[in-house]
Chain A
Amino acid sequence: MIEFEIFGNKDTRSGFGEGLHELGKTNPNVVALCADLIGSLKMDAFKNDFPERFFQVGIAEANMMGMAAGLTVGGKIPFTGTFANFSTGRVYDQIRQSIAYSHKNVKICASHAGLTLGEDGATHQILEDIGMMKMLPNMTVVVPADFNQTKQATIAIADHEGPVYLRFGRPVMPIFIKPDAKFVIGKADVLVEGSDVTIVACGHLVWKAIEAAKVLEEKGIKAEIINMHTIKPLDVDTLLKSISKTKCVVTAEEHMINGGLGDSVAQVLIQKMLVPQEYVGVNDSFGESGTPMELMTKYGIDSANIVETAQKAIARKQ
């Protein structure tokens, strides 16, 4: 029986807020910038307790990214906070030149990623950000699974020298990563062991994968679940070890199929170990207004889709 201890329900952005506040206490070089979304990003605690290290930049994300780059010249470790859309697409060139190409130690922290932003609709629901960020040389891309892991990841990236994209979201989801778990960039977690199919997921889809694995278990299918919280660098060893056992893989992400986690996994399979792969992700489409769970269902990234897709992958095995 697949069972997880649940430590409550919270949004991943609150994990970022707590992690950042913790860093404020422990690392005097950590500074934070926000583009008029303090409440949404849960940056209030840092702002209130460390006002001299907090920069409200207004609705001016390009300037925020440049300022963050400049703050590193002087030894600071800047954490920028805004929605994922405004953290990436809006400021791609600023990140590319002033942060990634310039090797600046900036942590780009992006909330409200993907469809689960919900009712605001497609203008704000970015589904291309993982792709944009992973294409940048020098960039590390982290997509933690729940509240606890987002907090742990926020703290961990401060110790990593170099630019990082940290992606999290808005909806309240179950907390299933242990509060004392150690987060290691680039080291994936095998959450459930199985032998029939490997489900590689990131972000909110990790919980959906767990739900799917329970359904698959009832059907007599043993799924292995990898929480691939770091998209770049990808934990190739953990991936290959798993698929050498299961011989097929499903990738699941709240992102466009084009350019996301699934494509990173496919690159590994093509070069190292060719097994059937199926994608759970958004298929070349913008989102729309709706509740987070309605949208996940409509756009095919719910646990039911993972169940169905896993069976499809298994059927393709020789």
Chain B
Amino acid sequence: MENKQLEEIASQVRRDIVRMVTQVNSGHPGGSLGCTDFLTVLYFHHMKHQPKDFSMDGINEDVFYLSNGHISPVWYSVLARSGYFPVEDLGSFRRLGSKLQGHPSTDKKLPGIRMASGSLGQGLSCAIGTAQAKKLNNDDRIVYTLHGDGELQEGQIWEAAIYAAAKKVDNLIATIDYNGRQIDGDVEDVMSLGNLAQKWIAFGWEVLEMDGHNIDEIIKTLDKAKSMTGKGKPIVIIMKTEMGQGVDYMVGTHKWHGSAPNEEQLQAALLQLTETLGDY
């Protein structure tokens, strides 16, 4: 797919995100907007997957886990736009009885989701399990995960990190949304991660870094990461992003981590996200 097309999709996904959270006056727009370019490239360009024929087993497909489940709006939009379920369903986000729960869930059988997430730190372990199942099944597809940087404060992440390197789980590509912000403020102030790249290197991982808002760089970095699979080491991409990317008043603050814009603010946001494939 051409970069231009991917940029158009990303713009539409951002429109979906701000509209979804505004409608129910809840949800997490900041991180969602920050990960839009990455998830657009992953789902519309990079992964081999079967949106029209979703299977929980994911055998012979690439599998993605969203470990930082609170950015569900971006995932829901990308899933719907890539054909897992009707885009009209985005309007049910966070409403009673919806398949689009506040945080991702398999409970209501939303196609595209294989694991609940929201309580942080669990997705990397789940991904390792699936990566090991793929090896047992002689399935050469890859398992992908996305994590928040604040999420890395959870101890389970580092249990998983030790395991993946020690046991050579080399069909796994984790990505960190390195936006430097969490609910209570800057990650640096809340609890600094120190030298993050060095930490992953010390844990035995291959480390790549990329600009999470440069489509071309995301494509190339994911290709490079994929070329590094099967060589005995797990791979992590530290992805520099801006929380709220695409909506000027949401950038540069942690204020929009978990709060929705009002109607007036929504209109201001949509004026900045003009390219559209048609709103739901």
Contacts and interface: CB of A to CB of B under 8 A. Distances in A.
A66 B132 contact: no
Contact of B133 (A65, A76, A103): A76
A62 B115 contact: no
B129 A78 contact: yes
Nearest to A96: B119
A52 interface: yes
Nearest to A29: B136
A73 B136 contact: no
A97 B66 CA distance: 13
Interface string A43-73: 0000000001101011010111111111111
B256 to A, nearest CB: 25
B11 interface: no
Contacts of B114: 73, 102
B115 A53 contact: no
A66 B130 contact: no
Contact of A67 (B65, B132, B162): B132
B80 interface: no
B133 A73 contact: yes
A270 B124 CA distance: 45
A65 B123 CA distance: 11
Interface in A100-114: 101-104
A31 interface: yes
Interface stretch (B53-61, B174-182, B242-250, B266-274): B53-61
Contact of B163 (A52, A58, A68, A74): A58
Contacts of B47: none
Contacts of B132: 55, 67, 70-71
Nearest to B129: A70
Nearest to B59: A74
A75 B138 CA distance: 13
Given A60-B159, A97-B116, A103 B129 contact: no
Contact of B162 (A52, A60, A76): A60
A55 B135 CA distance: 13
A98 interface: yes
A63 B133 contact: no
Nearest to A64: B125
B160 A66 contact: yes
A59 B115 CA distance: 24
Nearest to A106: B129
B163 A101 contact: no
B107 A103 contact: yes
Interface residues of B, number: 40
Given A57-B163, A71-B133, A75-B137, A66 B118 contact: no
B40 interface: no
A74 B105 contact: no
B43 to A, nearest CB: 18
A73 B58 contact: yes
B126 interface: yes
Nearest to A33: B129
B155 interface: yes
Contacts of A58: 159, 162-163, 166
A307 B119 CA distance: 46
A60 B163 contact: yes
A101 B130 contact: no
A65 B134 contact: no
Interface string A96-132: 1110011110000000000000000000000000000
Given A52-B136, A98-B116, A66 B57 contact: no
Given A63-B125, A97-B116, A97-B117, A74 B134 contact: yes
A178 B125 CA distance: 40
Interface in B73-130: 105-107, 114-119, 121-130
A93 B119 contact: yes
B106 A67 contact: no
Name the residue in B121, B136, B162 with the highest tally of chain A Cβ atoms < 10 Å from its Cβ. Answer: B136
B160 A63 contact: yes
A94 interface: yes
B253 interface: no
Nearest to A94: B122
B106 A102 contact: yes
Which 7 residue pairs of A and B lie closest in terms of their CB atoms, listed nearest first? A70-B129, A66-B125, A74-B133, A67-B129, A60-B159, A70-B126, A63-B159
Interface of A: 31, 52-53, 55, 57-58, 60, 62-76, 78, 93-94, 96-98, 101-104
15 contacts: A55-B167, A60-B160, A63-B125, A67-B160, A71-B133, A73-B115, A74-B139, A76-B133, A94-B122, A94-B125, A97-B116, A101-B105, A101-B106, A101-B107, A103-B106
